[in-house]
Amino acid sequence: MSTTASDPLATLGSLPGVPDAVDSVRKAVDRVYGHRVMRRRSNEITAEAALRGSRGSAALAGADWNLEEVRRRTDFSGEGEARVVGAVLRLTAEAGQLLSIWRQSPLRVLARLHLVAAGGAAPDDAVGRPRLAGEPVDEPLIEARLPDADEVAGRLEGLSQLIIAGTAAPALVTAAVVHGELLALRPFGSHNGLVARTAERIVLIGSGLDPKSVCPAEVGHAEQGRAAYVAAFEGYTSGTPEGVAAWIAHCGRSVGLGVRESTAVCEALQRGAA
């Protein structure tokens, strides 16, 4: 890590391929922020990015609705897919309210995110807290080894301390590690993928890389497909430098595709077509 052992995230930024991914993301983000429409209508771009990011995260969780269905729907209390989409929309709305808390108490934020995602769909005593020994996990997309409750507690605490201490690692690296760790741990009984992708968004916004939240990585994760997402995640869980670098690069491509989506929205607004 870093320059010092106290910053274990920072050395990940020098893994093969990661500096290029970081540089590519930074340039892409700079381009969309420099778009003339962003200077006049950034609130509209932010709102549209939130909707499209929500759709992408839901798609990875098995609710692959088209954008217009997500846009027009108001009742999410029905079948399973509707509940998933509703959960993601609630998480997206909540994320912006938690930015100031994240750096001081990331575990509190994660608990809140799970509470919001569950929305009454899980037993009350299982909501908003890491799972206990023997409690099941509903996360069908991820089939990696499930850490036991003690390992979850220890690794969550370690991740929390890294965030609170701060890091010299690029925002992309930190966001990818937070995302990957939460997927690997699956600390809650449900909605772990949704929470992990929301936490990634919080890091990207709070780091200053994407302060207006117009670069939805969830769009890119969905566009690359569930198989690519799982394969990249398996690289992360391998713990090898190559596997971790591949996961970070995958997250970088996802941000880049999110940038492309918002750039297209900017262009449409500029033409008066949206």
Tell me if 228 sits within 8 A of 254, measured CB to CB: no
> What is the reported pLDDT for 94?
94
User: The tokens of 213 are what?
Assistant: 């939240």
Tell me if 186 sits within 8 A of 139, measured CB to CB: yes
Q: How many residues does this entry show for the chain? A: 274
User: For the purposes of burial, counting CB atoms within 10 Å of the CB of 210, is it exposed (0-12), middle (13-18) or buried (19 or more)?
Assistant: buried
Task: Write down the pTM of the prediction.
Answer: 0.93
Mean pLDDT of 187-215: 97
Distance CA 24, CA 178 (A): 20
Mean pLDDT for the chain overall: 93
Mean pLDDT of 13-29: 96
> What is the reported pLDDT for 274?
47
> What is the reported pLDDT for 160?
96
Q: Closest Cα to residue 266, out of 33, 37, 29, 27? A: 37
DSSP state of 162: H
Tell me if 162 sits within 8 A of 9, measured CB to CB: yes
Query: For 29-78, what is each residue's pLDDT tens digit?
Result: 999 999 999 989 999 999 999 999 999 999 999 999 999 999 998 888 77
- CB atoms under 10 Å from CB of 103, counted, come to 16
Query: For 135-160, what is each residue's pLDDT tens digit?
Result: 999 988 898 999 999 999 999 999 99
Query: Which residues does 81 contact at the CB level (< 8 Å), separation at least 6?
Result: 58, 62, 63, 65
Chain centre to alpha carbon of residue 185: 15
pLDDT-derived band at 79, boundaries 50, 70, 90: confident
Residue 93, classed as helix, strand or coil, is helix
Query: Which residues does 89 contact at the CB level (< 8 Å), separation at least 6?
Result: 54, 70, 76
> What is the reported pLDDT for 1?
32
Least confident span in 38-47, 111-120, 249-258: 111-120
